Structure formats: structure tokens, C-alpha cells
Amino acid sequence: MKVRKVTAAATVALALSVTATACGGSNKDDNGSGGGKKITIGIKFDQPGLGLKTPDGYTGFDVDVATYVAKELGYSADDIQWKETPSADRETALERGDVKFIAASYSINDERQKKVDFAGPYLLAHQDLLVRSDDKITKATDLNGKKLCSVTGSTSAQNVKKTIAPKAQLKEYGTYSECIDGLSGGAVDALTTDDSILAGYAAQDQYKGKFKLAGLKLTNENYGIGIKKGDTKLKDKINKALEKMVKDKAWDKAVKDNFGPAHYKNEPAPKIGDIVK
């Protein structure tokens, strides 16, 4: 009986040891204080120049920014688990805790700030139009009676339809890639979203010469890093990381690497908390 008691006790001790190792064996906590845990970051998977999933991994300006921030939080590139976060799912992903933060061409606005917090901004983009290279659309009002495409959950097309071209026929697709296919095939006449996104598509090899940017600055889009509402500690850490990225010129390098081939004329790096209306 004594042997059985010792064996049972040993079994319990072993189980407790395994549980402790599984739950807390890493030195790193969820805020990135160092160690070996993973961090899940939300990005887009289908935006060339910003967030694109390829057979070789993930590329884009948002990816570079997120990787830099994660490193400053204590995570290596190998610690990052990338999660696709379409425009319509970003707030939900943060509220549920599916991701630690989101860097996905996520424009800061009053409505979104009711649900989530933002670090940054880290890029100032502008809403524009992408049209076929032989199209005569030169201004937003030319869209009246035309088929305008954007993605579900994006504010870009709503801005045009409500304030500039109320007679535009709005077509909402699940991804920008679907809009691009529609534009290429003639199902839609224009795609509207941020110029940084449009430039990335226009610069792809398969689309060179097919599309052009209208060159309009319809809105100011302040890209921020989305975090769960109320997580001020993480917000402060990310803001410090973004400031460091600009200071050590890593921000400039990321812009050149990702937007250079598209001849994208970016705005200077914005100051933290400086939201351009």
C-alpha cells in the first residue's frame, strides 16, 4: 500500500510539473517581455506592397512594420504567427483576442476608436481611384452612373457614394483581389481605396500597363496599429517601437523596399498621435 501511495503521489507531481511547463515554462508573457511564446499578429494576405502571402512567406510594408514592432516587444520573426484579418473582421478579431495587434492598412477613425485603440499612426495615405489605363475617368464625379468597387467593411466606397458621386453603382467584394479581377475583366469601372494599396496592385507584373491611378487625394488615411480597447500598456510600447523605427531609418527602408517599384510618392513618417483630418 505504501508503494502505491508513493507511486500515486509521484504521478500527481509529474502531472503538475508537465502542466506548469505547458502553461508557464516560457520566460515571455503575452506582452512580449522576453522568452519563447508566440505572438499572433493580424495582417492582410492579399495586398501587394502592404501585406501579401506568398509561397516564400509574407511581404509588404505592414509586415515589415509589424515585424519591427514585434522585435521591440521581445519577439523574433520566428515567434510571429500571422493571421489574415479582412477589413470586416478586424474589430472582432481584437475584441475576441484572436490577435495581439493588427497592422493591416487600418485607418484610424472615430467610429473604430469606439471599439478598439490605435497606436501610431505609422503611415499617411490618401484615398484614390484605380481605373483602366484607357479609361477617361479623371475625377471622382465621373463615377456617377459607373460601377465602383471596394471591399466589404471599407469606408472608401461609402465616402465616394455619399459625398462625391451619389449615382455611382457600388459593388462590394470580399477582397481587393476580386475588385482587381472585376476591373480587369470589365465588371467594374473603378476601384477605390488608399493610394498605397492601389499602387501595390498597379505595380504587379501581370498588371503593368493595364491600370493607372487617377491621382486624387480624396481623403487622408492615417494607418494605425489596432489593439484591444483599454490596453494602454501595449499601446505605449508599440508607439515607442514606431518612434524608434523612424529614428533609425528602418521606416524609410521599408517604404523604399515595398513602394519604390510602384513609384509611390509617400508622405513623410507621421508623428505619433498626429491624426491628419
pLDDT tens figures, 216-238? 889 899 999 999 999 999 999 99
195 and 231 belong to one structural domain: no
How many structural domains are present in the chain?
A: 2
Residue 200 parent element (H or E): helix 195-202
65 and 76 belong to one structural domain: yes
Query: What DSSP designation does 44 have?
Result: -
Residue 231 belongs to a domain: yes
Residue 24 belongs to a domain: no
pTM (predicted TM-score): 0.77
Query: How is residue 136 written as a grid cell?
Result: 477617361
Whole-number Å distance between alpha carbons of 176 and 88? 13
User: Residue 22: pLDDT band by 50, 70, 90 thresholds?
Assistant: very low
User: Residue 7: pLDDT band by 50, 70, 90 thresholds?
Assistant: very low
- Say what percent of the chain tops pLDDT 90: 64
pLDDT digits (tens, 9 = 90+) for 87-123: 889 999 999 999 999 999 999 999 999 999 999 999 9
- Which pLDDT score, from 0 to 100, does residue 112 have? 96
Backbone φ and ψ for 175, nearest 5 degrees, come out as -140, 160
Domain boundary among 154, 188, 213: 213
Query: Reduced to 3 states, what is the DSSP secondary structure of residue 250?
Result: helix
Residue 4 belongs to a domain: no
Burial, 104: exposed, middle or buried (Cβ in 10 Å; 0-12, 13-18, 19+)? buried
Question: Which residues, in sequence order, are CB contacts of 54 under 8 Å at separation 6+?
Answer: none
User: Residue 209: pLDDT band by 50, 70, 90 thresholds?
Assistant: confident
- Which pLDDT score, from 0 to 100, does residue 25 have? 35
CATH of the domain at 168: 3.40.190.10
Write a three-state SS string for 67-94.
Answer: HHHHHHCCCCHHHEEEEECCHHHHHHHH
Q: List b or e across 38-76, with b for residues whose CB sees 16 or more CB atoms inside 10 angstroms.
A: ebebbbbbbbbbbbbbeeeebbbbbbbbbbbbbbbbbbe
136 and 207 belong to one structural domain: yes
Residue 162 belongs to a domain: yes
> Which of 101, 111, 106, 140 is closest to 125 using CA atoms?
106
Range of the domain at 80: 39-124+220-262
Question: What is the CA angle 277-190-261, rounded to 5?
Answer: 75
pLDDT digits (tens, 9 = 90+) for 152-175: 877 788 888 888 999 999 999 988
User: Residue 36: pLDDT band by 50, 70, 90 thresholds?
Assistant: low
